[in-house]
Structures are given as C-alpha cells and as structure tokens.
Structure 1
Amino acid sequence: MSSPSKFLRDLAKKTNTASAARAVLRAAHVKSGPGKLGDPRAGLPASVLPSGGNRITAENARPGSADWRMGAGKSRAGTDHERQIKGYASTDSVAVGSAIDFHVAAEPAGAFTVSVYRLGFYGGASARRMLVSPRLEAGPQPVPTPDAETGRIAVEWPVAWTLDVPAEWVPGTYLAVLDKGDGFRNYVPFVVRDDDATADFLVVLPSTSWQAYNWWPRDGITGRNVYYGYVTKEAAESDPDLKAKFSADARGWISNPSRATQVSFARPYFADGLPDGFVREQSFIQWAEGMGYDLSYATGLDLHAGRIDPAKYKGLIFAGHDEYWSTDMYRHAEEAVAAGTSLAFLTANNAYWHVRYDEATRTMSCYKGFEDPHVEDFPTGMWRAGDGHPRAEQQLMGVQYSGIIKGRLPLVVRESGHWFWAGTGLKDGEELPGLLGGEADSLFEDMPRAKGEEQALLTASPYTISNGTRFVQNTSVYRAPSGAWVFTAGTFLWPLALGHPTYQDKRVTRAMANFFARVRA
C-alpha cells in the first residue's frame, strides 16, 4: 500500500477532475434489480436464524407482486429532457399515521395513477402492492435554471396527490409508482417509519448520498449534482482545451467544474426515478426480510434530525453507499456505539464527505474543492481533512475509503478462524470471486484507529487504482468498549452477495447471519 498521506494529497487534487467523478458514478454499476430470490434461510442452522415471528415475517407472508418493475404491464421509462412523467415527495421519510405529498409533472398533460409498493421478500416476489390512487391529472411544470452561485435546482410543482399513511402499515422502503395513461412510468422512493416501536435492527437508507448523486434533470443542459454539471456543446466546440476535458452527454458536454455545491431534496431523481445504486439497498432488503429479522426503517436525514433513538435497537444497518454525512449524523452514530448499539456498514466509502443540511429549504451543501462561504463548524469537504477538525472515518468504522476498483476482483479471506466466518468452510487465502468492486476501504496504519477492544481484518484483497498505486482492501469488524460491534464490508458489492440472485454467495450470507446473531445475543 502506498503512503496514505501521499494518497490523501493526490486524492484531494483528483476529486475535482471529471475522470474521477465519472469513475465513481459508473463503478460496479449493476443495471438490473434483483430477480426472484430463493429462501434466504435455507441451509442455515437455527443458531444463526432469528427465532419466532414478528411484524416483518407477518408482512412478508402476504401475497407479493413484481408488477412495480419497469416493463411490467408494458410500462417504459421516459427521459429527463422529454419529462413524460416525473415526480418527487414532500419528505424522504414519513411516520405511520402521517401524510406525504407527491408533486408530479407530465408532458403532455394527461391522466396517471400512483401505485404504492412496499419492498421486501414476499416469497421471492420482492414487493407488495399496498394501494392504488384514484385517477389523477398532471400537466407540464417548469424546470428552473440552476442557481448561478451554487448550481442548486429546486422545483415547486403543485401537489398532485396526498397519501395518508395508515397507522397499521409496517415500516419499510416504499415506492410510489407513477403510471401515465400512455405507458410511461416513474418512481418516487420514500421510507415509512414507526418512531415509537422497538426492533432488533434499524435499516438506515442513504438519502443524503442519493441526492449527492442525483443528476436530475440529466438532459444535457440543465442537470447538476455534486459531481457534474454541463457546459454547452457550442462552448466546448469553440474551446479546444475545454473540449479535451469533457465528454459528450445527450445534448451538452459533461463538466466537473460546473458541478453543484448545493443540492435540493425538492426535485425528482434522474432517469427512471430510482436513486443511483438502489440495487444495493434493494438486494439487502430482499435478503434481510426473507431472513425474518425484526426490522424498522429510517433515512440518513432521520439520523441527522435526531429522530432515531439508538436505545430502541440492537444495531443500526447502513444498507447502501452512505458517503455524505452531516456533523449531527456523525455525532449520533458515535453516540449510538458509545451507548452499546452496534453498527453495520454494508458497502465502502461511507461518511467520506462532510455536508450541511438546511431543513427549511431541504438543501444539502457540499463545497468540496470550492471555497465554502457558509462555514458553521468546518468547511464541507473530506472528513479526514477537515480544517482544524480532521476525523478519520476508520475511527468509527474500523476502515476507510482507499480507492476505486477497476472491474470486479475477488475478496481474499483472512482470519478464517474468527467467529464471523464460522460455518462458511473458508480458509485463509481463499477467494470470494467478483465481490470486490466499485470502491474499497482499507485500514490506514498512520491514521487514528477505532478504540476497539478487538479488531479483525476479515479480508486482505490486493487491488490497483488507475494511477498504478497498489492497495489492500479490508473488511473489518471490531468491538467497542461499550460492547457494541461495528462491521464494515469495505466493498460496494457485499449487499449483492446477500440478496441479488445473480451475485449471491451463500458463504457471505452465512457470515452476515453470524454477525447479526452475535449482535442479537
């Protein structure tokens, strides 16, 4: 492994290049969502399985449906520049018994319906249709020009439909499926919470990172996220230096310097409306609900706002790529561990960028390499390089981001005698093929480490980044002084190894079941 200090300097420079941002967006991209998954409990011993029933097992015993998938009923996705039908929700999560609004635009104007699905296992069907709205109408709505200073795009479309969430609905990840009369379909994801209930595990969905990567509208002209904006094709063509830096996309040219420093939650998600990388969260949900774990659900903004009481759960599960964290998110996670609540990070490159969130305007700020004019505690940049407040992510997670993977590589097993690997049959040096991909975490020896009573590096997987620098990826588990366990997968593909039929690895599912059994004990 190269010097982490040198790597940090190089990375800070590389962060603002279009090539680095493009690599992040396309890394380990899996286009199709999980198909029908077999019984996740099959072949596992009773000692690692949850015992007895709960509201998750009762919910998943109901008849499921795969009709939400794109293509069902001859549905098809529109485009961001034609905007056949697009929508967004008034909040990223809603408590049972409360209401959530859906703002919808359609071109041309026409009728549509909203079908609400809850994602889960449901005998392998992946979801259950909860209800269908009345026939509704929507018409064209304006797409505002990005803010000149921040690139922020926020819309104020009228409310097309309000959902009063029934008090008896089970917490979970829900999709509002917008179906227009001409066959075009769009998704609006949201979480239903139960703030008063307890559960073994709370699944935290990465809503802040979803918005950081949200490139709506990806129309070649207007769209912005914290990685990209656009320059006009005419401007690029007239400037050879500019043309050499950016690649074409639809009707414009992709520009990293034109990226947004602020993004709004008041806008649709780009393309079909599913957040970037949503297949990872969906894969985990399908597996975990099929296992019958006692689960509840929330989002990163719920962690930020203090709506999560860690004392109600044995563990918090960060199911997706959770890269963008506010100070309050970090503080609440640290407090959870200190109080004895375990954490599981199922991907890599988590809590890497420091962000601020303004509830009044639903705006998240992350200036990265640009000067941050609104500093409250320290600039919005890398946590580990915070001005006067550096914080190595591995102090919380055990390991931290080290680089982008080229292609798909094996995870190389280490510490095979550890309880985590019990029952897998794996030996030191054996490989889990194709499960190292997207981005990777490593232990940095010259940076502050987690204050754990014991830490095991469960994999030691060599890889090389694009500039030729070699690293060793690590999957990690450690025990905090409070008794809490903290697991970090250190690869984007761990959730797929759990619940995606194409990528599932029974050795990984057994190891994950071992971890959850240890936390529940």
Structure 2
Amino acid sequence: MITDKAPTVSIQIRHVGPETGPIMGNDTMTGVPMTAKRTIGRVSGPRIVNVRLGDWPSGVYFVQLNAPGGRVGYAPFVLRPKHLGVNRVAVVMPTQTWQAYNHRDDNGDGRADTWYACACQHSARLGRPFLDRGTPPHFKHYEAWWLRWLVHTDKKVDIISDAELKRASGHELAKAYSLIIFSGHHEYVTTHEYDAITDYRNRGGNLVFLSANNFYWKIVIHGRVMYRITKWRDLGRPEAALLGVEYFHNDSGEHRGNWIVRNAGALPWLFAGMTLHNGSVLSTGGIEADHTTSASPKSTRVVAEISNLYGPGMTAQMTYYETKAGAKVFAAGAFTLAGGMRDNPRVQQLVANLWTHLGNDRTGQ
C-alpha cells in the first residue's frame, strides 16, 4: 500500500543480487530490473497497487517507487521457492528481526511500533514499511553483499524467510535440504521455528550461522503482531545447545577485533585454499558476540576467537561441532561473516568451504 502523496508515481520490480556497482548508503537498495517501469499516475492517499510476479528464482526482490523531485521508495519482499527443496541449500532471511529493529511509528501514536522504542512495550507490528525509504535495517551490511556473492558465484540456493520456517516441520526440512544457512541476525524465533530447526539438526541436517545473537528470544505471533516473551535460555533451552555458542554481550559496534585462527589442523577442509595457521588473522568482527557455555555440545571446537573483545575474558568464539546423527553445525560467534563477503577473500573462501563440505552432504532425512 502506498500512503504518501505524489503527482505521479512509477513502479518497477528489481532482484537483489545480480547487480554490480557500489551500494551508496543505508537507505538504498540495488538490484536488476525484472519488469519494465510502469506509471500508476497520481497518488493522493492510501492506495493498494497490485504487481504481477514472473517465473523467477527465489530471492530477495523489491518494488522501487519513483516520484518527481528524486523521491525514491522501496518495498522489499522474499519470493519463496515453488516448493521446499528446489535446491539442496537454503538461506533464511531474518524477516522477524528486521521488523523488531524497525522503528517506524505505523499507528501514529508517537512511538515506534517495537519493543526497542520503550521497555514498557512488548510487541512489534509485522508487515510495516521500513524507515530509510523502505530499506530493512542493516540490509547493506548484513544481506546485500552476501546476496550478491550467492548470485555471482552461481550458488544453487533456495532463499526463504521466517514464514517458511513457521510452516515446515523438521522432517520436511531434512528431506528438502542438506544445509540451512542463517546469514543475518536471526534473534527472534517462534516455538515452531526453534523446534523445527532443532529437529532438523537432530535428523542430521547441517546448519551455518554467519552472524551472532541467534535464536535468543522467544516470540509469539498473533495476526500481524509479534510479542517478545522471554529468552530461550530462561525456558531451559539455551541456544548454545543448538548453535554451539550463545550471545553474551554487545557494545553497539564500538569495538571490533581480529578473528584469530585456532585448531586449524583439526579442520583442514575449513581453511583449505588459504595460507592460514594457528594465530593467523581471518577477518575482523564485533558489534555482538557469542561464546561457548556448559550447554554447548561436547564435540564443539573453537576454530577462531576475537580475544578480549569487550575486556579481559570477554572473548567471541567461532565454533564447529558434529553430532552422532551426522549433523555439522558452524557458528561465526560475532557480526558478521556475511558482511565480509564484499571484499575479503579469506571469508569468501571459508564460506565456500562450508558450502562444499556441508551443502553436498545428504545425511539429513
């Protein structure tokens, strides 16, 4: 729905990923045109505009709206695959977390419709347009370059969202996918999502988490509103038991540090194609961080660390573990390997190694 006013508006659907060139700011989305521009005329109040989708691959798309005076807006959406398992690897977009960090006041009460606006609020409205001309929060740094890498390296992948995880069972996911990648900040999940991904792992499904602070809060969704309930660890389900690590601190990005390689010889395939050894620098990370706990699976290995990121002993840890069922689980432990896909060859190679080693595995069932 368009709610602004303009003497004339044109719309065009674009696909994020195949494009090239710079991304200029946090309020800019880039993509290749999938349709011709279509003029819809004057907009003078709330107006619903229908758009026709083509026979396109799953992915992140957006409707770009242009109006006189250089005015631009974006309406992003995730186009799901025709069915689960079109490809053996899935990447999940954190659409619920996008809305949690969306500070738009959509109901006009003077306060953003999210719990980040006030400690007294425990709900966030879904389906709201985003601020920054419609660009999801942190999209440039957490998703845009990652989506480009997927396309430009010809990765065969299903792009899905929280909506698909809310409907699929662990059994269905294990039949469909060898590997599920959570590339962004996947902080808020429902009970069904948590159960489905845990069951997927228990059936031998492989998981990769390229960021930090994932599966942290339990939410409940009623209609178009999600409610933040409590931390999963406070319900006796610490996220470290699934991810291998769990969130422990953030400082809004004031400190970043080097991921230093540990135990390189234990996982030679992970660092293949790179001249890395124990003590080598892989990349930089920070903002939010995870570490191992007593709930981490016993087979969890630390493969890199950002030592003393927030002070003595406050170390972010990158981990990997395997289960008796054959599942392989990797977690970055800090923000964000996905952002490093822009221009860091070592991060690109590490993620490519994970894709090869975990994405071609057919253990899950």
From the CA coordinates, give the structure whose radius of gyration is larger: 1
Where does 1:311-322 land on structure 2 (aligned, <5 Å)?
311-322=175-186
Where does 1:9-408 land on structure 2 (aligned, <5 Å)?
103-107=1-5, 109-122=6-19, 127-137=31-41, 139=43, 141=45, 157-159=46-48, 161-166=49-54, 168-196=55-83, 197-217=85-105, 221-228=110-117, 256-258=118-120, 260-279=121-140, 280-306=142-168, 309-310=172-173, 311-358=175-222, 361-366=223-228, 380-386=229-235, 390-405=236-251, 406-408=254-256
TM superposition score normalised by structure 1:
0.62
Other structure's SS at 1:272 match: helix
Q: Is the 8 A contact 1:346 1:489 kept in 2?
A: yes
- Deviation per CA, 1:442-500: give whole Å up to 9, x if none: 0013xx223x6x332111222343xx5631111111112221211111111211211x2
- Deviation per CA, 1:90-128: give whole Å up to 9, x if none: xxxxxxxxxxxxx11113x42111211111235668732
1:513 alignment partner in structure 2: 352
1:61 alignment partner in structure 2: none
Other structure's SS at 2:288 match: strand
Q: Is the 8 A contact 1:401 1:440 kept in 2?
A: yes
Out of 307-316 and 267-276, give the one that drifted further. Answer: 307-316
Amino acid at match of 1:409: G
Out of 122-131 and 349-358, give the one that drifted further. Answer: 122-131
**Alpha-carbon distance in 1 for matches of 2:102, 2:277:** 41
- Deviation per CA, 1:137-170: give whole Å up to 9, x if none: 46455xxxxxxxxxxxxxxx541x112322x211
1:234 alignment partner in structure 2: none
1:26 alignment partner in structure 2: none
Structure 2 unaligned regions, length at least 5 = 23-29
1:472 alignment partner in structure 2: 315
> Aligned pair in 2 of structure 1 residues 399, 385: CA closer, same or farther (>3 Å)?
same
Shift, 1:217, TM fit: 3.4
2:25 alignment partner in structure 1: none
Q: Is the 8 A contact 1:338 1:482 kept in 2?
A: yes
> Aligned pair in 2 of structure 1 residues 385, 469: CA closer, same or farther (>3 Å)?
farther
**Alpha-carbon distance in 1 for matches of 2:257, 2:42:** 47
1:458 alignment partner in structure 2: 303
> Aligned pair in 2 of structure 1 residues 432, 518: CA closer, same or farther (>3 Å)?
closer
**Alpha-carbon distance in 1 for matches of 2:19, 2:132:** 27
1:45 alignment partner in structure 2: none
Amino acid at match of 1:298: I
> Aligned pair in 2 of structure 1 residues 505, 220: CA closer, same or farther (>3 Å)?
farther
> Aligned pair in 2 of structure 1 residues 124, 480: CA closer, same or farther (>3 Å)?
farther
- Deviation per CA, 1:207-238: give whole Å up to 9, x if none: 0100100000399943232211xxxxxxxxxx
2:330 alignment partner in structure 1: 487
Other structure's SS at 1:422 match: coil
1:496 alignment partner in structure 2: 339
Amino acid at match of 2:234: A
**Alpha-carbon distance in 2 for matches of 1:399, 1:210:** 22
- Deviation per CA, 1:374-429: give whole Å up to 9, x if none: xxxxxx1111112xxx2110111111111114322111111112221122111112
- Deviation per CA, 1:12-63: give whole Å up to 9, x if none: xxxxxxxxxxxxxxxxxxxxxxxxxxxxxxxxxxxxxxxxxxxxxxxxxxxx
**Alpha-carbon distance in 1 for matches of 2:202, 2:179:** 12
Q: Is the 8 A contact 1:120 1:286 kept in 2?
A: yes
> Aligned pair in 2 of structure 1 residues 355, 420: CA closer, same or farther (>3 Å)?
same
**Alpha-carbon distance in 2 for matches of 1:491, 1:284:** 16
Shift, 1:133, TM fit: 5.0
Shift, 1:339, TM fit: 2.1
**Alpha-carbon distance in 2 for matches of 1:138, 1:347:** 43
> Aligned pair in 2 of structure 1 residues 124, 291: CA closer, same or farther (>3 Å)?
farther
Q: Is the 8 A contact 1:215 1:223 kept in 2?
A: yes
Percent identical: 25
**Alpha-carbon distance in 2 for matches of 1:195, 1:356:** 27
Confirm or deny that 1:422 pairs with 2:259. Answer: no
Amino acid at match of 2:125: S
> Aligned pair in 2 of structure 1 residues 512, 221: CA closer, same or farther (>3 Å)?
same
**Alpha-carbon distance in 1 for matches of 2:42, 2:162:** 31
Other structure's SS at 2:143 match: helix
Q: Is the 8 A contact 1:216 1:271 kept in 2?
A: no
Q: Is the 8 A contact 1:325 1:354 kept in 2?
A: yes
